[in-house]
Structure 1
Amino acid sequence: MSDLLAITYPWIKGLHIISVISWMAALFYLPRLFVHHTEKAGISGGTHEIFTLMEYKLATVIMRPAMIATWIFGIALVFTPGIVDWGAVWPYTKAAGVIAMTGFHEWLMARMRDFGQGRNSLTGRQYRLMNEVPTVLMILIVFSVVVKF
């Protein structure tokens, strides 16, 4: 199995990067939809229904599959011989960042369900602030892997 992972390493790495880009795009965009949903549409009416559908499609057609693919290809990279130096700190900071990103993903999914049920309780400003979370986590993850501290 490790020979197969070593042979396919460039392909797995490429698919991992594509998955991460797709996941990050959705993680950046969904909170922005929530801002506009909160400030322009409210929790009822035709515009609310349009925003609810857009949020649902983004979360279920793009965001969740991209997260799953990111995890699958990332785990394949972890098991590829010679890729991860478990004596260094970076694999653990990256793992913490990815787990936190997954937690943020699930938090967004819960907010999407709240909107769908007409019970959003957050303001546009709060969603704007939460929109910074994936940026901070991305910085941690990228520098963990690139700098390998």
Structure 2
Amino acid sequence: MQYEHLKAIHIIFVVSWFAGLFYLPRLFVYHTEANQKPDLERDIIQAQFQKMERVLFNAIMVPAMWLTVLSGAGLVYWTWWDSFAAHGWLHLKLAFVVGLLVYHFFCRKLIYELRSGKFRFSSLQLRLYNEVATIFLFAIVFLVVLKNTLDWVWGVVGLIAFAVLIMMAVRIVKTIREKKQ
């Protein structure tokens, strides 16, 4: 297998993994908001969300995560092994990947908590949690494309500012809706 083929495989599985990392926390938001429904409706909806979360995590996210990690390890070994110490950007990228793995497994913990009826986060907190994967994506892509350990900071700072503005807008809209009711 040539390097370009391995890189293409890596990118495909990164995209698949991130699709799950973006969608699963959104399911957590809806799962949590189902608590406000009448009992029968709530039970039906939450059972459906439990199934969707389980299938998404086990059938898509876990295989995509492993194939991302394995193909990424192959890329590191193939190209940079001899000069690994000279690539500071790669060290930082791998640190973000470790953070992303922590995020992934925390999602699994949330699946188990929601399945057992433990709702420790509000839907607003879960909406914020949903943005964490986006921050990781920005940081990792900037590092890989620019191969610079400093330029990623500006991308992430801009994203965080944008996320704060969006969350403020969400809060304002929520407040307006509650006042109308």
TM superposition score normalised by structure 2: 0.74
Q: Does 1:80 align with 2:78?
A: yes
Equivalent in the alignment of 1:128: 127
Q: Does 1:10 align with 2:13?
A: no
1:48-127, aligned counterparts within 5 Å? Answer: 48-82=46-80, 86-127=85-126
Equivalent in the alignment of 1:28: 22
> Which has the larger Rg?
2
**Separation in 1, partners of 2:91, 2:75:** 14
Equivalent in the alignment of 1:40: 34
What is the number of residues matched between the two proteins? 143
Q: For 2:85, what is the secondary structure of its paired residue?
A: coil
Structure 2: gaps of 5 or more residues: 149-181
TM superposition score normalised by structure 1: 0.89
Q: Does 1:143 align with 2:137?
A: no
**Separation in 2, partners of 1:113, 1:15:** 31
Equivalent in the alignment of 1:4: none
Give the structure, 1 or 2, with the largest relative contact order (CA under 8 Å, sep 6 or more): 1
Structure 1: gaps of 5 or more residues: 1-6
- Provide Cα deviations, 1:47-91, integer angstroms capped at 9, x if missing partner: 111000000000100011100000000000001135865313211
Whether contact under 8 Å (1:41, 1:47) holds in the other structure is no
How far is the alpha carbon of 1:46 from its aligned partner?
A: 1.4
How far is the alpha carbon of 1:114 from its aligned partner?
A: 0.7
Structure 1's consecutive aligned runs of 4 or more residues displaced over 4 angstroms after TM superposition are 41-44, 82-85
Whether contact under 8 Å (1:93, 1:140) holds in the other structure is no
Whether contact under 8 Å (1:35, 1:127) holds in the other structure is yes
Q: For 2:135, what is the secondary structure of its paired residue?
A: helix
